[in-house]
Amino acid sequence: MSIERTQTRKTLGQRLAETPLPEAPDWAGSLPKLKAQPGKGQLLPRIWGLFRWYLEIKAVVDALNGKELWSLLASEGPGSTKHGDYDQKLRETPPILRKIVHAWWKSGPNLRKFRLANPKLSKDADSFWSRTPVELYWGDRGKAELLHTVLDEPGRTSYEEATRFFLLLITNPYANKLAGPCARCGNYYLKKRASQKVYCSRRCGNATTATNRTREQRRAERANKLHRAAKAAEKWATASTNLDWRQWVSRKEPDMSTKFLTRAVNKGELEPPVHR
């Protein structure tokens, strides 16, 4: 890891500190009565934490893409070994997490079906969850907030990190917006609309469309070229000339070299003519 990256990277704790925190609302402390339902799309408040729902789901996206493994600990980052080798986890966690997420998608996503199909993973997720207790946040209102520390403590291994981010995903109301990989760049992303299922952005979609258009244009141009070459070769067959047919056709059609004609014959795209 470069020294520059280590110096310029902002920790999640710093990002959180720069974001104004709301006062504890009237419903604070009512965790047992409310829950997030991934896949339903409702924008529920983060009742057991100060961390913004959307930033949390973005942390999952960054982990899937191998960009960063967010945590609230300032000590966790490139070069850190306090909670295991961060650089190693950044390499190994994304493919494990992708496998888990795709298994979840395959289930419906349906957590009951997912649990039945993945008993060991479910058991490990339960075990990880039990080690990250709910804590009280003493705010400046009359009621306290409940803070779940599932994002606070990084996993000690790449598998634990993947489990941690999967738990963040399935407890987040934006979970239904996760999609990927993008057909062009391969990144995972958050959908801006329900129909956005192929490309992560207009840029990738437009670039693919432009590439396909260019490819089709080249195919059409080659087909036209081969058609003209075949017509010219037919004329050579009855022409009074001592030139090889490739040389003759190349003179009649200046945009065709003898090498182009030879390759076309070798590929079976063009039949060599017989002089009559």
Q: Where are the domains of the chain?
A: 3-200, 205-266
- pLDDT for the residue numbered 17: 53
**Could you tell me if residue 238 is left (phi over 0), alpha (psi between -120 and 50 degrees) or otherwise beta?**
alpha
CA angle 187, 77, 44 (to 5 degrees): 60
Is the CA virtual torsion 217, 223, 229, 235 positive or negative?
negative
Which positions of the chain have pLDDT values less than 70?
Answer: 1-52, 72-80, 139, 145-146, 148, 205, 207-212
- pLDDT for the residue numbered 13: 52
Residue 34 and residue 47 in contact, taking contact as beta carbons nearer than 8 Å: yes
- pLDDT for the residue numbered 79: 65
Residue 97 and residue 168 in contact, taking contact as beta carbons nearer than 8 Å: no
Q: For the segment 55-87, what is each residue's pLDDT rounded down to a tens digit?
A: 888 899 999 999 999 886 655 666 667 788 889
Place of tokens 């996503």: 109
User: 135 has which bridge partners?
Assistant: 147
Paired tokens of 131: 């080690």
- pLDDT for the residue numbered 107: 93
Residue 173 and residue 43 in contact, taking contact as beta carbons nearer than 8 Å: yes
- pLDDT for the residue numbered 264: 87
Q: Residue 191 CB: number of other CB atoms within 10 A?
A: 15
Backbone angles phi, psi at 108, to 5 degrees: 150, -55
What single letter denotes the amino acid at residue 210?
A
Q: Is 165 exposed, middle or buried (0-12, 13-18, 19+ CB in 10 A)?
A: buried
- pLDDT for the residue numbered 76: 61
**Could you tell me if residue 66 is left (phi over 0), alpha (psi between -120 and 50 degrees) or otherwise beta?**
left
What single letter denotes the amino acid at residue 192?
K
- pLDDT for the residue numbered 199: 78
Distances (CA, A) of 268 to 170, 248, 255, 257: 55, 20, 20, 17
Which CATH number does the domain 3-200 belong to among 1.10.3300, 2.60.40, 2.40.50, 3.40.50? 1.10.3300
- pLDDT for the residue numbered 265: 87
Q: Report the C-alpha gap between 23 and 21 in whole angstroms.
A: 7
Annotate 22-39 with three-state secondary structure.
Answer: CCCCCCCCCHHHCCCCCC
Paired tokens of 24: 């504890």
- pLDDT for the residue numbered 78: 65
Is the CA virtual torsion 203, 94, 156, 147 positive or negative?
positive
